[in-house]
């Protein structure tokens, strides 16, 4: 029996891939974090949903595996792409020793891609994606990765930049990057991608350091060649013009 792990993109139907929509239409049960299931419930009103809150990821993935083992066609859903800070790896781990369960991941449009498109073309050259959430990763390791990416002149895409309990995390990350980047480095903050209240702000790295963000914001920090073109953030690929 297959268990699907589906990335449904930013949350709007036009941001969902054809493959993701097809699988969700075929499944009987959709399992996910409540914030995410609330985004798509209205598009699949005939389906059964099972959702839980934050920090219950293992429990709901175990539930999905058990239901798939019973023969119920089940999908675990994530916003963006299920393999990018999503549930794909956890589902594989839980289903590892469960016979007759085949996991299939259905890719979706990640926040890096959809947010990057709104900002312009920030990821046209080598880039690193780093989450500032330290729930599962020690902050010492996160800071080490930020410094390495900054020193190597990667464009940096930041997920989970701040929360109520992590209000200074983005500022601290910017302070590390400022050791290697000019204060005028072009950056962008993209919020509520594909949802109500969507917004894009293009700014300098110095301005970003003092910008308030939240878990629904994706941050883009340019490399040494990133430019502002027609009020968009653009990282040249390197073509000779």
Query: 29-62: per-residue pLDDT in tens?
Result: 999 999 999 999 999 999 999 999 988 999 999 9
How do residues 146-202 score in pLDDT, each as one tens digit?
999 999 999 999 999 998 778 899 999 999 999 999 999 999 999 999 999 999 999
* Domain chopping of the chain, boundaries: 2-109, 112-234
Q: What is the CATH number of domain 2-109?
A: 3.40.1010.10
How many Cα atoms are found within 13 Å in the side-chain-facing hemisphere of 91?
33
* Helix, strand, coil share (%) of the chain residues, nearest 5: 35, 25, 40
Angle, helices 169-177 vs 139-151, to 10°: value is 30
What is the value of pTM for the model shown?
0.95
Question: Tell me, which fold does domain 112-234 have in CATH?
Answer: 3.30.950
Cα separations (Å) of 220 from 4, 14, 15, 223?
30, 23, 20, 10
């Amino acid at each position: 029996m297959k268990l699907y792990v589906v990335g449904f993109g930013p949350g709007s139907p036009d941001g969902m891939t054809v493959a993701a929509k097809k699988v969700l239409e075929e499944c009987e049960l959709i399992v996910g974090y409540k914030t995410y299931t609330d985004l798509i419930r209205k598009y699949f009103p005939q389906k059964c949903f099972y959702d839980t809150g934050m920090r219950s990821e293992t429990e709901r993935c175990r539930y999905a595996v058990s239901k798939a083992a019973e023969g119920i066609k089940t999908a675990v859903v994530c916003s963006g792409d299920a393999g990018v800070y999503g549930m794909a790896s956890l589902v594989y781990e839980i289903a590892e020793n469960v016979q007759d369960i085949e996991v299939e991941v259905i890719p979706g449009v990640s926040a890096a891609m959809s947010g990057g498109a709104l900002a312009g073309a920030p990821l046209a050259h080598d880039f690193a994606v780093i989450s500032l959430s330290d729930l599962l990763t020690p902050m010492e390791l996160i800071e080490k990765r930020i410094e390495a990416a900054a020193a190597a002149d990667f464009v940096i895409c930041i997920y989970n930049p701040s929360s109520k309990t992590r209000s200074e995390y983005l500022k601290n990350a910017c302070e590390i990057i400022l050791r290697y980047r000019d204060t005028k480095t072009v950056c962008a903050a993209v919020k509520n991608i594909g949802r109500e209240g969507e917004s894009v702000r293009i700014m300098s790295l110095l301005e970003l350091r003092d910008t308030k963000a939240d878990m629904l914001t994706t941050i883009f920090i340019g490399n040494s060649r990133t430019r502002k073109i027609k009020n968009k953030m653009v990282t040249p690929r390197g073509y000779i013009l």
